[in-house]
Structure 1
Amino acid sequence: MTRPFPFSALVGQQEMKTAMLLTAVDPGIGGVLVFGDRGTGKSTAVRALAALLPPITVVAGSLTNAESPERLAEWERQGGDLREVPTPVVDLPLGATEDRVLGALDIERALTRGEKAFEPGLLARANRGYLYIDEVNLLEDHLVDLLLDVAQSGENVIEREGLSVRHDARFVLVGSGNPEEGELRPQLLDRFGLSVEVGSPTDMEERIEVIRRRVAYETDPEGFVAAWAPRDLAIREAILAARARLTATEMPDAALRDCAQLCVTLGSDGLRGELTLMRAARAKAAYDGASAVARDHIRAIAPMALGHRLRRDPLDEAGSSARVARAVEDVLA
């Protein structure tokens, strides 16, 4: 099996890479939404990030990637030794049925043995990993509603056909799409912690370097991955170090005031903007090795944490990124 393209070998798209790294440091940020042109490395970046992360420890045979026997769902077979597996990355196709996403009655066992058994779905496989939805803005409404419920609770609950089962469903949600093909429902848009826009590189040398690295990877995948392995390892160690220092990273009152003032200035609804900005800024500070959140961390994170939460202003023709930049300049000058 060909190993994923190395994360450190991705050319450009720094904002997208930063957003994904921050969700690796603190999955509680709430996932990443990437809107932009096709062929700009969105799905490649997701798989590359998951591949460089350290493996997770699971109970052997667990269909929900349970980290200990105590976390096994009631319907899973008990027992099994602990083993290490790669961080899961699960694709949710647009045409997926509700049963495939949530899970359903195991028809084969019901017919052959007369037993009511649960057959887990994509959400079970994605637990403790990444759930990736390409063309997320084209996802059917009923699947959007299901994802909203699970993303908020961290638990998948299925009650149908005489079955009542539940299991952990904690994952980093990554969505990508082309805004020209349709908008994302506001309810789902708000659930993404960070949102970035990507485009095709306009710099000629950067485009050439993308082609050069891709050809090298396709010609000798193992050699290419091995050549970039030290840099991927450095990123992995930085993520692990950031996770270790995350809870000790201070969030001073001045930083909290800056977060709140930014959201008030931009007129964002609710408090999710402040909470996401706070968590993302703290993750950025931890990744940078800082002991406390400073204005530079908030300034770096604000566009991706707040840009997709703004109300539309018909009198302001500037895009969301420009509005956030103006507010950052006013509040954090």
Structure 2
Amino acid sequence: MIIEVQKQDRPVFPFTAIVGQEEMKLALLLNVIDPKIGGVMIMGDRGTGKSTTIRALVELLPEIQVVANDPFNSDPSDPDLMSEEIRDKIKNCEKIEITYQKIEMIDLPLGATEDRVCGTIDIEKALRDGTKSFEPGLLAKAHRGILYVDEVNLLDDHLVDVLLDAAASGWNTVEREGISISHPARFILIGSGNPEEGELRPQLLDRFGMHAQIGTVKEPELRVQIVEQRTDFDSSPMNFISNYNNSQVQLMEKIEQARQNLSKVTIDYDFRIKISQICSELNVDGLRGDLVTNRAAKALACFENRSYVVREDIGRIISLCLRHRLRTDPLESIDSGSKVYEVFEHIFN
């Protein structure tokens, strides 16, 4: 398998070439393996490679089956992932054309309006012709893909609410003047931001499946390695990318295999009890923490080519899943993960 870099409009830094930031890379990979984890919020200092890593992820995304020329990327075999029009065609035994396309990543600009995000209904045409005319928005384009919001902590709270509601329910509903249109909108929501510019409200943070914290690399040798890699990439992008072709292909195949085998992974009842004990002892509100931790542990086990979850899987992901759910006061800072890990060690030992 060869990764074609010649056709790219803009060369993308290879994911496997990124040095450090293991926590962020792990959270992104697990969400690609199991989108039901619920996305990831990445907070870190400026210049720590947040956007570079997220955009590098796109090159690793597998292909999916879609209905050709459908603006909602409908799945031809799953009714829950189809638009209303495609469901009607299949119900009426009409022929639909099927094609393959890579999972897409859609960027949501900070200045986007609600109509641009959710889509718009042509009221004039609806009243004149009696037909629903819908112009899909970014949520439609992101269906079955990734929706990336850079500086999400600067996004209007109302718009963040809309995104999180759609991500949680898997549907987007637009209502105008008594006319309502719904379409599936299942996507992986990835947000990034700089903590100096403010945190999200705890109620909004809780809706993200995972929370990754990244910082500036301190080791001089690693800093030099990062600078040299970036210099090599900038001077000859195609040659640099080709050097990582094999490792990129291996990781792509590993992700695809994990996505296919995820349903076969099991987690012991005793482990599930202990995960819930940890959430209870940390006073985590609701059950999202329990659900996400179970899903992330299974995704990691599958990524490591195992059909069962081991203790180390839970230890690697539990801080990512719970640290942002501990904060109840908006003025408090998010725990680094040490508090979560202390409770994990106590209960699992």
* TM-score in terms of structure 1 length: 0.91
Deviations 1:185-241 (A, max 9, x none): 222211111101011111111112112222222222222222211101111111122
Q: Any idea what SS the aligned residue of 1:215 has?
A: helix
User: Structure 1, unaligned stretches of length 5 or more?
Assistant: none
Which residue identity is paired with 2:83?
A
User: Are residue 323 (structure 1) and residue 339 (structure 2) matched?
Assistant: yes
Q: Is the 8 A contact 1:262 1:328 kept in 2?
A: yes
- Which segments of structure 1 move beyond 3 Å, counting only runs of 4 or more? 69-72, 74-80, 106-116, 316-320
1:114 deviates by 9.5
Cα deviation, residue 260, structure 1: 1.1
Q: State the match for 2:209 in structure 1.
A: 193
Counterpart pick for 1:215 among 192, 213, 231: 231
Residues 1-333 of structure 1 aligned to structure 2 (within 5 Å) = 1-68=9-76, 72-74=82-84, 81-106=97-122, 116-161=132-177, 163-311=179-327, 319-333=335-349
> What runs of 5+ residues in structure 2 fail to find an aligned partner?
1-8, 90-94
Q: In the alignment, is the contact (CA less than 8 A) between 1:38 and 1:178 conserved in 2?
A: yes
Give the number of equivalent residue pairs.
332
Amino acid at match of 1:181: E
Helix, strand or coil at the partner of 2:259: helix
Percent identity over the alignment?
A: 47
Contact 1:133/1:176 (CA < 8 Å) preserved in 2? Answer: yes
Deviation at 1:101, TM superposition (A): 0.3
Provide, for residues 58-114 of structure 1, a one-character-per-residue CA deviation record: whole Å limited to 9, x for no partner: 222111111228654236796652222221111112211010000003589789999
- TM-score normalised to structure 2 length: 0.87
Work out the CA distance in 2 between the residues paired with 1:318 and 1:63.
39
Q: CA deviation at 1:317?
A: 9.8
Q: Is the 8 A contact 1:26 1:243 kept in 2?
A: yes
| One-letter code aligned to 2:207 | R
In 2, distance between residues paired with 1:222 and 1:113? 53
2-structure distance, mates of 1:215, 1:302 = 36
Cα distance change on mapping 1:63 and 1:155 into 2, 3 Å: same
Task: Measure the CA separation in 2 of the matches of 1:311 and 1:200.
Answer: 24
Closer/same/farther in 2, CA of residues 66 and 318 from structure 1, 3 Å limit: closer
Distance in 2, matches of 1:20 and 1:146, equals 22
Structure 2 distance, partners of 1:130, 1:15, is 19
Distance (whole Å) between structure 2 residues aligned to residue 72 and residue 312 of structure 1 = 38
When residues 116 and 278 of structure 1 are mapped into structure 2, their CA distance, relative to the original with a 3 A threshold, is closer
Alignment CA distance shift 1:116-1:267 (3 Å): closer
CA contact (8 A) 2:167 2:188 kept: no
Per-residue CA deviation, residues 143-196 of structure 1 (Å, 9 max, x unaligned), is 122123212210111111453211110000001111121120222211111101
Specify the SS of the correspondent of 2:224: helix
RMSD: 2.6
